[in-house]
Amino acid sequence: MATDARPAQPKTILRGHKTAVQVAAFVRNNERLLTGDSDGFIVAWDLTIMRPSAVWQAHTASILGIAGWGHDRIITHGRDNRLVVWKLTAEDEKVLSTTLPLDPASEARPKPWMLHVLEISTMNFCSFSYCPAYPENSPVTTADEILLAVPNTLSSESIDIFHLPSLARKHTVGFSPSSLPDPEGQKNGMAMSLSLFHHPTTSHLTLVAGYERGLAAVYQLDPNTSKWATTYQSNPHTQPILSLDVSPDKSFFFSSGADAIIAKHPIPPCPPSSGMIQDPIRIVNTKHSGQQSLRVRSDSLIFATAGWDSMVRVYSVKTMKELAVLKWHQQGCYAVAFAAVNLPQETSKPDNTTPEESGSTSKEITPIPKLVEMTVKEKRLHQAKTAHWLAAGSKDGRVSLWDVY
């Protein structure tokens, strides 16, 4: 990435947001980078030309979360108490504005077609998480149904799970006000970060949650009893958990908080053979408080955080050692996102990770067309899809794009 004499520099700076960039996500096999700001604007960046392909105001308040659903749908979650599913294809982009939020617009920017709108509480800063409605081995499989986890409207410690497109609430996980000794007895505080998925071993629906008190918990649904069991619970943080992310194989997850702690936690199958687990795999004091938007890359080799001190830090998944500090922004960073690197192409490992660490002794290579046989457009598309992009969004309204490891 860089030498001792020359610090790493971003490959590109994407300028266009007027206010702080709060969220970022790569979609469509890395062809697009979606960024959302504190005014509710979404920008879809075409990474083949590093220009906006669509700009619209999705919410009237700050964006809390954004994700791609399949190849043609986008989910956005705002502080205006709404979660919206938008239809956004390459054809749809042709009729949308490319005028960036930073630039004045003579008329209102058109919006993509709204497919679903869910009214939810956003009294805290917790974003949604979603997964397919059915596990991979289910006889019923469809890409048109998902389950979506959001904080409960009445109890900020509880989590609701909705089904889309029906918008029906299927589950409520955690404490309810009536079960507590007093209205202020919610001991864990607000839910701060969520991850919802089907456990690969048991296919049980699994919810990972981080709380204001610094507690991390894993809940799993027993399909035989339709009851939720707590299979893991630990409180390694002294301050609120700001973010968490689950490993691609769903065997562990990381959490980061307002303190300087980053913790690695197990995700046990349900039910665990020895009862509820309460010990993290590892706890590291990074001495850098306020690391949020923690993301694990799709090859499970590295993860990154966005720091209030304006630094983006890259860590080894295996050792949890700091591998790189990416400095370009002058104001705090709020969002990071990794492009997927497990698409059909050559895969590699961090320079200072040994083959034994990565679990592989050789590179895996899938044949691709020779670059000399590609058109300019095809070369740009190939670069967008295969670059190991790390995007960082900052309070300064800019997005830095790094090609790392």
pLDDT tens digits for range 44-54: 999 999 999 99
Determine, yes or no, domain membership for 259.
yes
Separation CA 43–CA 53 (nearest Å): 8
Mean per-residue pLDDT, 386-395? 95
The per-residue pLDDT for 386 is 87
Over pLDDT 70: what percentage of the chain?
A: 87
pLDDT band for position 209 (50/70/90)? very high
d(CA 35, CA 376): 26
Look at residues 287, 323, 321 and name the one whose alpha carbon lies nearest to residue 307: 287
HSE-up of residue 382 (Cα within 13 Å, Cβ side): 15
216 belongs to a structural domain: yes
Total of domains in the chain: 1
- Assign 178 a pLDDT band (cuts: 50, 70, 90): very low
- Assigned domain for 14 exists: no
Pick 366 or 277 by higher pLDDT: 277
Assess if residue 32 is contained within a domain: yes
Per-residue pLDDT reduced to its tens digit, 18-42: 999 999 999 999 999 999 999 999 9
Q: What is the pLDDT of residues 280-327, one digit of tens each?
A: 999 999 999 999 999 999 999 999 999 999 999 999 999 999 999 999
- Output the CA–CA distances (angstroms, integers) from residue 152 to 101, 222, 243, 319, in the order listed: 32, 21, 18, 36
β-partners of residue 34 are 25, 44
| DSSP assignments along 345-364, one per residue | S-----TTS-HHHHT-SS--
Closest Cα to residue 264, out of 294, 287, 299? 294
| Strands, sheet with 168-173, edge to edge from the N-terminal-most edge strand | 129-132, 146-151, 159-164, 168-173
CA distances from 271 to 199, 218, 220, 403 (A): 12, 11, 8, 41
The verdict on residue 202 lying in a domain is: yes
Q: What percent of the chain has pLDDT over 90?
A: 72
List 233's β-bridge partners, or say none. Answer: 217
CA distance 218 to 228: 10
Res. 347: pLDDT tops 60: no
pLDDT at 184 over 60: no
Residue with tokens 């990074």: 286
Q: What is the CATH number of the domain that holds 179?
A: 2.130.10.10
Label residue 354 by pLDDT band (50, 70, 90).
very low
Q: Is residue 4 part of a domain?
A: no
Is 123's pLDDT higher than 80? no
Q: Residue 348 has what pLDDT?
A: 42
Examine the pLDDT at 4 and tell me if it is beyond 90: no
| Nearest-angstrom CA–CA distance, 241 and 213 | 7
| Residue 5 maps to a domain | no
Domain interval for residue 192? 20-403
Question: Is residue 13 one of the residues assigned to a domain?
Answer: no
129: exposed, middle or buried (Cβ count in 10 Å: 0-12, 13-18, 19+): buried
Which tokens in the block code for residue 100? 């960036």
